Amino acid sequence: MNDMPSIPLDHLDNDEREVAVKIVATRGKNKGKLRASKPEVEWHPIIKDGVATRYKEPELESGKAAYLWRMVAFHVSPVPQHHCLPVMADCDLPGDFNSRKELAKSLNDLADKIVMAIPKQQWQGIIRWGRALGYIG
């Protein structure tokens, strides 16, 4: 199996880098490369009228990292399971439908910035979908 691609962070500003470092492995053979799995999402109970309900909501920072990892992994990971369409990825983001969509837009821009900094030969997900759709021979 191919190795995970290296994730360059030097072209990102401080706010972008703060989220992006969470999708980079910090030890082992993947150090400096895309993590092999999605970062853990922390959940907290939803408080209504001062009482915790049985429902939970994802924590903002861990949810953003999980969403960003999913988008980047979809495009560049060599793991075939990561190439499934990420249609439910925004469920890791807090808030209602509209606020999740707005947050997802900004994270998609960051994911595009990261993917564009990775050499095109390492865009395994894009290559695989290109073959499936007949764009790549």
pLDDT values of the chain reduced to their tens digit, one per residue, 137 residues? 568 999 999 999 999 999 999 999 999 889 999 999 999 999 988 888 888 888 888 999 999 999 999 999 999 999 999 999 999 999 999 999 999 999 999 999 999 999 999 999 999 999 999 999 998 86
Nearest CA among 137, 118, 95 for reference residue 32 = 118
Q: Give the per-residue pLDDT at 89.
A: 94
Any domain includes 1: no
Backbone angles phi, psi at 91, to 5 degrees: -70, -15
Nearest CA among 41, 50, 136 for reference residue 94 = 41
Domain of residue 49: give its range: 14-132
Any domain includes 4: no
> Rounded to an integer, what distance in angstroms lies between the CA atom of residue 34 and that of residue 66?
12
Tokens of 14: 């401080």
Q: Give the per-residue pLDDT at 55.
A: 84
Q: Give the per-residue pLDDT at 46.
A: 85
**92-129 b/e with 16+ CB inside 10 Å = b?**
bbbeeeeebeebbeebeebbeebbeebeeebbbbbbbb
Domain count along the chain: 1
Sign of torsion over alpha carbons 28, 32, 33, 36? positive
